[in-house]
Amino acid sequence: MYNSSNLWNSSGKKADPVWAQVTDYCQSHMHPPSKPNHGTITAALKASDEADLPPIFAAPAQAKFLALQAKAIRASRFLEVGALGGVTALWLLTLNPALRVTTVEVDPHHAATARKNFAAAGKDVEQRAELCEGAGLDVLPRLLEEVKAGKREPFDAVFIDADKQNNWAYFDMSVQMTRPGGIVIVDNVVRGGRIVDPRMKDDPGVKGATEVIEKAGADPRVESTVVQLCDEKGFDGMVLSVVN
Ligand code: DHB
Ligand code: MG
C-alpha cells in the first residue's frame, strides 16, 4: 500500500527524508483520511500494488494538484496519457463530480487493473472514465481526428505521463485538441536534475524531457513554465502549458 516511505523517483536518487516528512505533515492537513475519496484512492493503490504495478503513479499531492487545476478551469473533459492503474484518474474523477476522463494505456495488465479500479469506485465514477487501450501514438491520432471532425469535444486539460521519448508527439497532438485557455501538463521533465547534466544528454528520459521543454518554450500556440517538485518521490517536475 502507498505510504511516503515507498520512495521512487525518475532520478535514480533517494528522496531526502525531509521531503517525505513534509508530505506526511501537509497531507495530514490537506487530505486526511476523513476525505470522501480516501477509501477509493487507498483501495486503488492497494489493488495496483497487489497487481504488481510499478509505484510510479503521481504522488497524492501532485494528483490532487491536477484535480484542483481541473476544478479551477471548470474542466469537463480531461485527457490522460498513461493510465497505469487509474489512480491519478480517480483523483481527477472523485474531486470533480462532473468531469469525464479519457485515459490511454498501452499495457493490457495496467489497463485491466485500471478498469477494475474504476469499477470498484462505483457506477458514477466508472461511467465518467473512458479507457482507451493502445499505444499513445495510435490512440492520440484517432482522438485528434475525432476532435477535428467534430465527433468529440475538445479537451479542457491533458496530463501526459507515459513513455517519455514520445513526450513531444503527445504534447503536439494534445495542444491541437485542447481548447484555448485549456492546459497541457507533462510529468517527469526534471528527472532529479539530470536534464542539466551534460553526461546524461543521451539518456532517453532526459532527451524526452529536454525536447518537450525546449519545443514547448518556443511554441507560439502555448505559454509554458516548468514546475519543479520535490516530494516523497524525489526531485522531478512538470511542464505546465496554457493553450493560447
Ligand atoms: C517513472 C515514470 C513516471 O511517470 C514517474 O512519474 C516516475 C518514474 C519511471 O518510468 O521510472
Ligand atoms: Mg510520471
For residue range 128-152, list pLDDT tens digits in order: 999 999 999 999 999 999 999 999 9
Distance 55 CA to ligand 1 centre (A): 8
Q: How far is the CA of 196 from the centre of ligand 2 (A)?
A: 19
Is 12 a residue whose pLDDT tops 80?
no
CA distances from 217 to 21, 112, 182, 239 (A): 34, 36, 17, 10
Q: How far is the C-alpha of 130 from the C-alpha of 153, rounded, in Å?
A: 14
pLDDT digits (tens, 9 = 90+) for 158-216: 999 999 999 999 999 999 999 999 999 999 999 999 999 999 999 999 999 999 999 99
Give the mutation target among 2, 6, 10 for probing the ligand 1 site: most ligand atoms within 8 A of CB: 10
